[in-house]
Each structure stands twice: as structure tokens, then as C-alpha cells.
Copies of this chain bind each other. A is one copy, B any other.
Amino acid sequence: MKKIKRRKTSIYDIAKAVGVSPAAVSYVINGRDKVSPKTKAKILAAMAEMGYVADHAAVSLSRGKSSLVGICFPLDSSALVFSDNPFYSEFLANFEKEISASGYDTIIGYLQSPEDFERWLVSRGLDGLVIFGLYSPEIFKIIRAHKVPFVLTDFYDPDFEASSIRVDDVMGGYLAGKHLLDLGHRQIAYIGGDLVSSKVDCKRLEGLNKALEEAGLKCALQLEVPTTFNGGYEAATVIRNHPEITAAFCGSDIVAIGLLRHAQELGISIPDDLSVMGFDDLNSCTYVYPALTTIRQDIPLKGQLAAKILLAEIDGEEHPLTQTIRPTIAIRNSTAKPKAK
């Protein structure tokens, strides 16, 4: 109760209180074993008593460690993909939960101009990065130039070494195809994202095709739409013109949900007239009616693993680390045997 103008209790304060040097305090905080057990105990006691809290800014300045990581979402037009597709928020919630347990906070970025990105990256002194979406070379040049550890999601470029987290998309597509085939479908459509920019969608389609080929069939229709509710919604109008199609496998749940919705409005009964499958297993899959049969990529696990991989990268562990999650099928009510003709 003496000083009036002090900002908050610093290591100097506690050093003075204990009668040691600030460095000693720093040592015990950072676990350097350069201090005797006795003084260490005294220091710890003083820290607790005086309510010492480390200042991230000071640490960041002095040690170059901000304890801040960034997560960059794709910038689909001007849409907030993060609120439009629950996939991102479900991922973020779980990623953040895991990484905050290690003392990191997460800030959100959007992949806009490389200049803005770089400014953001260096001004915050980010310790790590998780990147969604398109992999622009300029962005990576920047990340590499600043030597910031990063992890990619759903990454497939074999010519680029990087840590990443993904689901086995081919297997997922295959599982979907198998399910539909087993049900007796023969005319199966694929509805998903732009195949040239989205490797993920390619792989999912590849898996579907594999299953179809094994049955001596091929994809009845291949539709590329934006990965949004509206993308799926629009797709329904073209599906309507293909009465021979009895099942659709969508590259993402959000697209499947849009399709489901509009198909019903158009008088197409699900699953009687059309079986619909998605991919992701969003919480929303059980919100819709009929509940969506989908390929589950354990999103909470994905978020968690992304955090673990990033942490490992930050700790300088062997590079690159890549994990592939095994998808499973979640059979609900949007798929059934095709109606007898």
C-alpha cells in the first residue's frame, strides 16, 4: 500500500520483496535451475502473495515469443465463411480449446492480400499459424521467410513439404459410394466444390468413383457448386431435371443440407425419391429433417490434432508432421433403398 503509481507487480517488485535480483525471479519463472531451492521457495511464495502475472508483451519483446497463434480462414468472396459454414467454427472451438491449454491464445485472420497478411503476421509476432483453403505461393513465401511454424488443413500438394492435418478423403468418398451402392442405387450424382481449386473435393469424388468403378458404374452427374448452403440449394434445381438419379453424394454437409432443403421444396421426397449424403458430420446434420447420412470426419479430433501438430512444430520437432484421420460413416435417415420403379 505504499506506491501509488505502480502499474502492476513486476519481477522487480517481487525481487525486491524477497531480496534477490530480478534475474533470479526470471529464472524460477522459466524453470532454469539456477537458483537454490530455498530462495526459489521464497520467490514462489512472494509471487503468489503479490499476485504476480507475467506480461506477454514484455516476454514477446524480449524473447520473441508472443504465445499467440493465428488461424486463417479462406476468404470466399466477401462472405464470412467462418459463420456460413459451421465446419469452421466447430473446428476453431476445438482447436482453441486444445491450444489454450498450453497457454496460447488464438487470433483469427483472413487470407487477403499478401501485404496485409504479412503485416498482421509480423506485427503480432505470431508463434504459429494454421491455414485453411487455397495455398497461394506468395503467402507461403512470406510464412517461410519469417520462419513461422504452421500447419495446413486438408493439404495434398506432394511437392510442398508441410505439416498438415487431413481426413482420408478418398476413403470417405469410397465409404459413401459403397453405402449408396449397397442400398441398391445405380445412378449416383456427385455435388461438391470446384474441382480445380479444391483438392479435397477431388479426393472425395475420387473415392466415390472408385466404389462406382468396382461396381462397373460411373458417376451419373458431376456438379460443381460453391461450398455453401446456397450452392446445394441451387443444385436441387438441376437434380430435378435428372429423374434417373436416385442418390447424391455431396462434398460437404453444408451443400447436402442446402440440397436437402430445396429438394423438399421442389417436391422431391428424401430419401424416397432421392438419397442424400454429405461429408463432415456437422452438428447440423441432426438438426435437419430427415437427419443427414454423412461421412464423419471427427471435427473435434481434427481441431485437437491440428493444435498438437502446431505445438510440436513450435517446439521444433521433426518436420513435417502429418496426420490423417480415418473417416467413418454416420448412417441416418437421408438415405434409403431406391424406390422400386
Contact = CB atoms under 8 A, between A and B. Distances in A.
Interface of A: 7-8, 53-58, 60-61, 64, 66, 68, 80, 82-84, 86, 89-90, 92-94, 96-97, 100, 105-108, 118-119, 122-125, 229, 257-258, 260-261, 264, 283-284, 286-289, 291
A122 B7 CA distance: 11
Q: Which of A64, A83, A100 has the most CB of B within 10 A?
A: A83
A284 B125 CA distance: 37
Contacts of A124: 56, 105
A76 to B, nearest CB: 13
Contact of A82 (B61, B93, B261): B93
Contact of A107 (B7, B107, B261, B283): B107
Contacts of A287: 229, 257-258, 261, 284, 287-288
A90 B288 CA distance: 19
Contacts of A123: 53-56
Nearest to A232: B287
Given A83-B283, A96-B108, A229-B287, 11 more contacts: A53-B122, A55-B125, A58-B61, A61-B61, A80-B94, A82-B93, A105-B108, A105-B124, A260-B289, A264-B289, A288-B288
A55 B119 CA distance: 10
9 contacts: A55-B122, A57-B57, A57-B60, A82-B93, A86-B86, A89-B93, A229-B287, A287-B287, A289-B289
Given A82-B89, A93-B82, A287-B229, A57 B61 contact: yes
